[in-house]
Amino acid sequence: MTDRKGRRADGWVFYDGDCEFCQALARRFRSTLAKRGFGMAPLQDPRVAVLLGLPPDLLLQEMRVLTPSGDVLGGAQAVTFLVGKIWWAWPIHTVAKVPGMRPLLRAGYRWVADHRHCSSCTVGASTGSRQKGVKR
């Protein structure tokens, strides 16, 4: 996949382009991830749904990473994968390997995703019950 400027990447990070919180994180980490071969694109880009092979109701549930080997990771698993690529984030990556931590990281990711407070969030709770513009 190439971005709108025709640049290719080894891997891709897909985020909710309608969410102010996600946009801020994407801006913050764009350079760091680009140095490691990752491009960034909003999940709302029509090419992303085709590339990931996800139906619309699942596409926006969590951020996704398309790894250089072609694996698709989502949510906490995607974050754990990415921090493993960043030398200064090694403590998070190491903690993720501790037995029993993955369920806690998944729960933490889900909590953050469900408690973002922006007026345009479209990513739903794990039940898919949140609608655009509805805060909890």
Domains of the chain are 11-114 (3.40.30)
Q: How far apart are CA 121 and CA 112, in angstroms?
A: 12
Contact 17, 44 (CB under 8 A): yes
| Beta strand segments in the chain, E | 11-15, 38-42, 64-66, 72-74
> One digit per residue, pLDDT tens: the chain, 136 residues?
555 545 567 899 999 998 888 999 999 999 999 999 999 999 999 899 999 988 877 888 899 999 999 999 999 999 999 999 999 998 888 999 999 999 999 998 888 888 776 655 554 443 343 333 333 2
The model's pTM is 0.78
Written as six digits, the tokens of 111 are 């909590």
DSSP code for 103: H
